[in-house]
Amino acid sequence: MVQPVASKKTTRLRQMLEGQGLSFLMEAHNGLSAKIVEEAGFQGIWGSGLSISAALGVRDNNEASWTQVLEVVEFMADATTIPILLDGDTGYGNFNSARRLVRKLEQRGIAGVCMEDKIFPKTNSFLRSTAQPLADIEEFAGKIRAAKEAQTDSDFVVVARVEALIAGHGLEEALKRGEAYRKAGADAILIHSKERHADEILAFKKEWGDRLPLVIVPTKYYRTPTDVFREAGFKIVIWANHAMRSAITAMQATVKQIFQDEHLMNVEERVAPLADVFRLQGENELEQAEKAYLPRGGPVARGIVLAAGQGKELGELVTDRPKCMVPIAGKPILGHIMDAYRSAGVRDLIVVRGFAKKTVDITGATYVDNDAYATTSEVASLACAKASLDGPCVVSYGDVLFKKYVLDELLDAEGDFVVAVDSLPADEASANAAAALAKNEPVRRSDWAICSEPHSRKALFNQVVLKDMTTDPTAAGITGEWTGLLKLSTQGAKFVREILDGMPASELETIKVPDLLRRLVRDGMTVRVVYSRGGWLDIDTIGDVVTGSTFK
C-alpha cells in the first residue's frame, strides 16, 4: 500500500525515518539550489553547514552565525515544498542555544535539525578529525533533551550526530554515545565515518540493530553500492555537499574562460539560459499576481505581438531563431518590446510564434503558435490570437522597437481604431525613393500612411484620421510612415474579430495588417492617427541590428 503524502513538511521527514525503504536527502545551500533539488525529484533537502558556509565565503567553523544560517534556510524553505533537515552543527552553544534554535526553525518551516556531539565552535569533521574533542556525553544528551522539549510540533525531527568514529574513538564509544542520545529522546542517529569504505558504518548498524533509525553520509565511502545501505536497513542517505562542489567547478571554468577570452561567445551556450533563472525564481507567478493586483495603468491592458516570421533578410542571424529573438544590446528584440509594453502598464502580453518557436521563450508572455507561418502572412498570425481580441489591446510587430512615449501617445488617444504614424520620413520619402531608383537600387518597402492632414501644430488640436495606406513612396499625399502599432478598443477588437471570422481562407493567408487597415477605412470605420517624430525602429537589415544597439 502506497503511503499517502503528508501535508506537513515535518510529518514527511518523520515518515522517511519511520517508513519502509531507504530515502535520500540532497544538499542545498540557498533558495536557488534548494529549488533545483526539489525539481530533480528528491524527497527532502539537507541544509549543509559546510555548503552554506562556503556559499557565504567563510570556514565551516561557526564563522557564520546561527542567525545568518537561519536566514539562508528560511529562503530555502520559502522556495520549496519538500522538508529540510538542517545541519545545525553543535546547536550553536549549550542547551539553551539548542532549544532556541529549534523554536526558530519551527517558525520558519524547517522540518528538523541535526546536531553533532562536538565542542562549540565546531571544526569540519574531515579537518584534523582525530584532534577534535567531543562533547561530554551527559552534556550533549541534555542538549538533545532540551531540543525535544522545546519543539511545539510533535513531528519535528531532532537527529543526534555521533562523531566518535570520525574522532578515532572506535565502535564501542560510538555505540555508547548513540544509546545515550536515544534515551535523551533523539528521533534518529546520524553515524559518521571518514573511512573510504563502509566497514565502520556497517559494523555500527549490525551492533545497533533497530533501536532508532540510522542516517548516513557516504561522502568518503561513495564507492559503496547504495543497495548495500538499503539491505542493511539504513533509513536516510544524505548526499552532503555535491551541489555546492559542482557549482564551484562550473563557476571556475566559466569565469576563467571569460577572463581569457574577454567575450561571452564561448560560454553563452554552456550556461543556463536566463529563462531558467526566471523560472526557478517564480517569475511566472509574479506576472500573474501583477495582473491580479496591480493597477492596469489605463484602459488597455493587453498587447499582441506578431512574431511568427523568420526574417530571412538577416541571413545567418536567423538560421536557428526568428528575427524577434535576435539580440540587440544583449537582449532579444522581443525582450525590448515586452519591456516597453510593461513600462507603459500593458502587462498581459500574447506573442504569436512560428519559425523556431521553441526558441521564443521569454518569461512573462503567453504564447500562441502559427504553425503555417511559412505560407501565411501577418493577418493569419493575428487570427491565431483571435481569442485575445476580447477587449482593448495593442497590436504590434515582433521586429519593431518603439519607445515608451510613442506607446503612451497611442494609449492616451481615444477611438476604436488608432494607429501611430511617424511624420519624420514623409518629407524625405519621395527624395530617397527617387535617389534609389536613379542608382538602380531597390526601394526599401515601407507602409506609408496617407492621412487627413499632415503633422503640424494645427493637427495637435484636430482629429487626424487615416485615409489610405500605400507601399509606393512616390504616392501623392503621404504624411508619414506607419510604425506598426495599432490600438483597438473593445468594440474595435470585436469588429476585427468579426472580419477575421468572415474572411475566406485564401485571403486570410495573404493579406497584411496595412491591408486590414485599408479595409477598415473602406468600410467607413474611423481610424484615428497619432503622430510622432521618430521613436521607433523597424529591424529589417543587419545595419538596423547595429543601429538598434544605440536605440534608447
Q: What's the rounded Cα separation, in Å, for the pair 167 and 198?
A: 16
For residues 278 and 206, state if they share a domain. Answer: no
Tell me what pLDDT residue 146 has.
97
- Residue 229, pLDDT > 80, answer yes
User: Is residue 254 one of the residues assigned to a domain?
Assistant: no
User: Is residue 175 one of the residues assigned to a domain?
Assistant: yes
Burial class (CB in 10 A: 0-12, 13-18, 19+), 255: exposed
Count of Cβ atoms closer than 10 Å to residue 78 Cβ: 13
130 secondary structure, DSSP code: G
For residues 209 and 342, state if they share a domain. Answer: no
Provide the percentage of residues in the chain whose pLDDT is more than 70: 91
For residues 291 and 345, state if they share a domain. Answer: yes
For residues 221 and 349, state if they share a domain. Answer: no
- Residue 157, pLDDT > 50, answer yes
Tell me what pLDDT residue 159 has.
98
Provide the domain limits for residue 324: 274-548
For residues 406 and 338, state if they share a domain. Answer: yes
User: Is residue 250 one of the residues assigned to a domain?
Assistant: no
Q: What's the rounded Cα separation, in Å, for the pair 456 and 423?
A: 9
Tell me what pLDDT residue 438 has.
66
Final residue in a domain of this structure, among 182, 217, 240:
240
8 A C-beta contact, residue 196 and residue 221: yes
Radius of gyration of the chain (CA): 33
Burial class (CB in 10 A: 0-12, 13-18, 19+), 21: exposed
Give the CB-side neighbour count of residue 457, counting CA atoms within 13 A: 0
DSSP codes, 16-67: HHHSSS-EEEEEE-SHHHHHHHHHHT-SEEEE-HHHHHHHTTS-TTT-S-HH
The tally of domains found in the chain comes to 2
- Residue 425, pLDDT > 50, answer yes
For residues 335 and 482, state if they share a domain. Answer: yes
Q: Which helix (H) or strand (E) holds 70?
A: helix 66-79
Question: Which tens digits make up the pLDDT trace of 398-414?
Answer: 999 998 889 989 998 99
C-alpha pair distances (Å), 409 with each of 46, 157, 535 = 54, 61, 11
Residue range 25-37: mean pLDDT, rounded: 97
* pLDDT band at residue 299 under the 50/70/90 scheme: low
For residues 459 and 363, state if they share a domain. Answer: yes
* pLDDT band at residue 1 under the 50/70/90 scheme: very low
- The CATH number of the domain holding residue 187 is 3.20.20.60
Residue 87 bears catalytic tag? no
User: Is residue 177 one of the residues assigned to a domain?
Assistant: yes
Final residue in a domain of this structure, among 198, 217, 240:
240
Tell me what pLDDT residue 283 has.
79
- The CATH number of the domain holding residue 529 is 3.90.550.10
- Residue 464, pLDDT > 70, answer yes
Tell me what pLDDT residue 433 has.
61
Name the grid cell of 393: 489591446
- Residue 183, pLDDT > 60, answer yes
User: Is residue 515 one of the residues assigned to a domain?
Assistant: yes
User: Is residue 269 one of the residues assigned to a domain?
Assistant: no
User: Is residue 2 one of the residues assigned to a domain?
Assistant: no
Final residue in a domain of this structure, among 191, 225, 240:
240
For residues 183 and 295, state if they share a domain. Answer: no
Annotated catalytic residue, options 60, 87, 361, 416: 60
For residues 352 and 208, state if they share a domain. Answer: no
- Residue 3, pLDDT > 60, answer no
For residues 187 and 307, state if they share a domain. Answer: no
* pLDDT band at residue 140 under the 50/70/90 scheme: very high
Provide the percentage of residues in the chain whose pLDDT is more than 90: 67
Q: What's the rounded Cα separation, in Å, for the pair 23 and 21?
A: 7
Mean pLDDT in the chain? 90
C-alpha pair distances (Å), 137 with each of 22, 171, 180, 200, 488 = 29, 15, 7, 21, 77
Of 347, 333, 351, 352, the closest CA to residue 411 belongs to 347
User: Is residue 327 one of the residues assigned to a domain?
Assistant: yes
